[in-house]
Structure 1
Amino acid sequence: MVNSYVPLRFTIFISFSIAAASSFKLHSASHSPSSFPKATGDDLLSVLGPPSAASCLNPIVSREIKSCLKFLVPFKSDKPKPEFGRCSPRTGLCSGKIDAVERRSKFEEENSLIWWPPESVLELARLAVDSGGDPGSIQRTLNPKMIPVRLQFNDKCQLTRTPYGRHFIAEEVNSYFEFLFHLIESRGPSVGLNVSLSRYDLFHGHLFLASESGRLGILFHAKEYPAYDKKVFPYNMGYCQRGSDVKYNDSMNLRNILWLAPLPSNSSPDWVAPGVLVVLDAHPDGIIYRDLIPDYVKFVRTIYEDDLGTTAVDVNYLNVGAHEPDYQLFMC
């Protein structure tokens, strides 16, 4: 396999330099006055954290960030962890420690799995915080077995950072991350985000540990390879873009999706915030577009995981089937 993997930020930067004179239908906002409070990735995570953290923010920044959040699961900053867990007959996943199988609606089951994931995911979340945000603590929970990434298309396109991937030792963690991809796909339309699980659209996220708190999260990127269009997207992004049917339009504003694991206390066995699943709206008039997206990628609305914390692994969910869909998870 020819290794053509190049981080998207550099691909975009080169393409943008070549076609800088082109115009776009997605307008760009003018630069804000320097006196306006500037938001950071830590501010975003504070808004999505416990009330005590959110209350410390500049109220203007907090209000502006909240106006750019489109929740796929209702936000419950003070949702208490249930004493006993519940299992979903539909997904096979259990929220918290198993007590009994309870019949609930699909919507309720999915919400519960975001607020309070399975115990193996909670253990990973606590490990991230207890380690002081050390990505090695997460990497050491991966199975050492290497799994070749074999995709049924042009082998000059390599979608993953390496030509092989791994799984977590705890299979329940792998199943949970697969669940997240499917939940984003199914609930996205409720906030205006129509995505498909494909190599051009939603197929990867970046697992990170937050800079200040160590909180575990995944920043997903949808609309990864928009189709080349001479008028609206005149950028050649290489072999992986060929054949794309992803249209460049206002839906690009919603391409960043954030999952946060529940946040454990760093001084007790308690939990101080439940999990979160939210679309970050990077419309040109908002604070996310203005402050969290670098100028050179504003036209593709990319938030980078480095601005939220330290990356541990990339989480890839790819269709490796030749004739029938066969999605597999690869940690790279």
Structure 2
Amino acid sequence: MDYIISDSFKNYLSCYRWPVSNPARSASGDGPAFLGSDLSLLPPVRLRLRKGGMRLTMGSSSLSLKLAFSFSVSISLAVSLASSSPPSLPKIPSVLAFKSFSQPPPPSSPRSFASNLLALLGSPDDSSAVPVSEAREIASCFRFLVPFSPPSSAKNEHLRRCQGANDMIWWPPESVMELACLAIDSGGDPAVIQGALDPTPLPVPDVEGLKKDKCQLTSTPYGYRFVNWELNAYFAFLFELIIERGPSVGLNVNLSRYDLFHGHLFIADSGRLGILFHAREYPEYNKESFPYNMGYCQRGSTVVYDDSMNLRNILWLAPQPGNRTDAGGSPGVLVVLDAHPDGIIYKELVPQYVDTVRTIFEDDFGDHVADVNYLNVRSVVPGDRIFMC
């Protein structure tokens, strides 16, 4: 199949130095093995009542109730979607196409707060609708990996050619812009974005010892990629730019199964397309700093639990339509959401049952479309490390 790739993206890819990955070899040493649909890799899950409370037990490992909820949801979803044969591409009913973007979420809810947060990252008209005092508190928790406001000359330069990583965030390739427009034109229907995926299921590879540790890292044992190769390459670029720019705001992360390997693609109530990335996913068990057993996927982790957990939520937003004219719209955004306990983002968006790991959920920002996974497969172009589940 032939793909049309914009000249600007070709120019950028030719000069960008992609980080070198070094995933673990399979047990045979012949390269990546595959999980396929072997449900025996999933740990048995059962609830056990015991004195002092209820615990979720997985094989010989247990998970404290405080973290059990989010982990058990992932396991339940994987079991319900996996089958002995490759599943067809999931579709979500298009009833969302009839919703009105003009109807705001109810007040005093996480989704309402998230809507205001997104508004501050939108056009001047959007941001002006947020109360000044709340806007100040939210803005104090933004840690931009790419400057929020492009220089005045950047727009004209972009029309000639894409010059660097900042431009790739502010004004992505045409394929990304088209996907963003689809999200709005469809009325925010996730099925329309899913329809841009190639329906061929791809077995999730056995990278970094997943099979040995009985870890099903993704929500399903099969993933998909976009038909347009440029979209896969762009999503891979986002992961690798986070790694490159993270240290500038105090976020030192790696592309690995324990740290940064996934994000959640969503459509906001405004119709804007975004991804909420999660880093520091499986911290190392430590009796003092992190006494939580998170199951098979935590085995072998060397991710230290420290203050960098406050920075584990990273938000990418596609440009809003109109950004290439003088009226309306806004450029793309890549920003770390600082969820330190004294900040408003922690107080409004981090549920109590996951406050230890500072998890923010994409459902507060909009409607979930798919999980975007970056897996360290050897000897492939970056776009082939993307698995949409």
1:80: how far off? 8.4
Residues 133, 183 of structure 1: alpha-carbon distance in 2 compared, 3 angstrom cutoff:
same
2:5 alignment partner in structure 1: none
1:124 aligns with 2:179: yes
Residues 271, 116 of structure 1: alpha-carbon distance in 2 compared, 3 angstrom cutoff:
farther
Residues 301, 56 of structure 1: alpha-carbon distance in 2 compared, 3 angstrom cutoff:
same
2:233 alignment partner in structure 1: 175
Provide the aligned length of Structure 1 versus Structure 2.
Answer: 291
1:82 alignment partner in structure 2: 155
Residue from 50, 53, 65 that aligns with 1:17:
65
| Partner Cα distance (1:18, 1:203) in 2 | 23
Unaligned runs of 5+ in 1: 21-35, 86-96
Of 145-154 and 75-84, deviating more is 75-84
Contact 1:145 1:166 in 2 (8 A): yes
Contact 1:49 1:77 in 2 (8 A): no
Contact 1:320 1:326 in 2 (8 A): no
| Partner Cα distance (2:320, 2:278) in 1 | 23
2:362 alignment partner in structure 1: 305
1:139 aligns with 2:194: yes
Amino acid in the other structure paired with 2:146: V
1:145: how far off? 1.1
1:188 aligns with 2:246: yes
CA offsets per residue over residues 111-144 of structure 1, 9 Å max, x none? Answer: 0000000000000001101111110110000011
Residues 82, 265 of structure 1: alpha-carbon distance in 2 compared, 3 angstrom cutoff:
closer
1:328: how far off? 1.1
1:40 aligns with 2:113: yes
Contact 2:232 2:384 in 1 (8 A): no
Contact 1:210 1:216 in 2 (8 A): yes
| Partner Cα distance (1:285, 1:190) in 2 | 22
Contact 1:205 1:221 in 2 (8 A): yes
CA offsets per residue over residues 64-107 of structure 1, 9 Å max, x none? Answer: 0000000000001896883574xxxxxxxxxxx6x45x7x5xxx
Amino acid in the other structure paired with 1:59: V
1:262 alignment partner in structure 2: 319
1:264: how far off? 1.4
Residues 271, 326 of structure 1: alpha-carbon distance in 2 compared, 3 angstrom cutoff:
closer
Residue from 198, 204, 209 that aligns with 1:149:
204
2:122 alignment partner in structure 1: 49
- SS of equivalent residue, structure 2 residue 282: coil
TM (norm. structure 1) is: 0.80
| Partner Cα distance (2:291, 2:202) in 1 | 36
| Partner Cα distance (1:190, 1:120) in 2 | 29
Contact 1:19 1:234 in 2 (8 A): no
| Partner Cα distance (1:289, 1:167) in 2 | 33
2:337 alignment partner in structure 1: 280
Unaligned runs of 5+ in 2: 1-37, 46-54, 57-61, 69-107
| Partner Cα distance (2:356, 2:384) in 1 | 30
1:283: how far off? 0.5
- Give the fraction of aligned pairs with identical amino acids, expressed as a percent: 58
- SS of equivalent residue, structure 1 residue 263: coil
Amino acid in the other structure paired with 1:140: G
1:71 aligns with 2:156: no
- SS of equivalent residue, structure 2 residue 216: coil
Query: Where does structure 1 differ by over 4 angstroms across 4 or more consecutive aligned residues?
Result: 36-39, 77-81, 268-271
1:25 alignment partner in structure 2: none
1:154: how far off? 3.9
Contact 2:318 2:333 in 1 (8 A): yes
2:42 alignment partner in structure 1: 4
| Partner Cα distance (1:115, 1:181) in 2 | 16
Bigger radius of gyration among the two: 2
| Partner Cα distance (1:83, 1:126) in 2 | 21
- SS of equivalent residue, structure 1 residue 40: helix
Contact 2:229 2:383 in 1 (8 A): no
Contact 2:116 2:130 in 1 (8 A): yes
CA offsets per residue over residues 12-38 of structure 1, 9 Å max, x none? Answer: xx8342799xxxxxxxxxxxxxxx998
2:308 alignment partner in structure 1: 251
1:315 aligns with 2:335: no
1:166 aligns with 2:224: yes
Residue from 222, 226, 231 that aligns with 2:279:
222
Residues 176, 126 of structure 1: alpha-carbon distance in 2 compared, 3 angstrom cutoff:
same
Contact 1:72 1:188 in 2 (8 A): yes
1:269: how far off? 11
| Partner Cα distance (1:253, 1:173) in 2 | 29
TM (norm. structure 2) is: 0.69
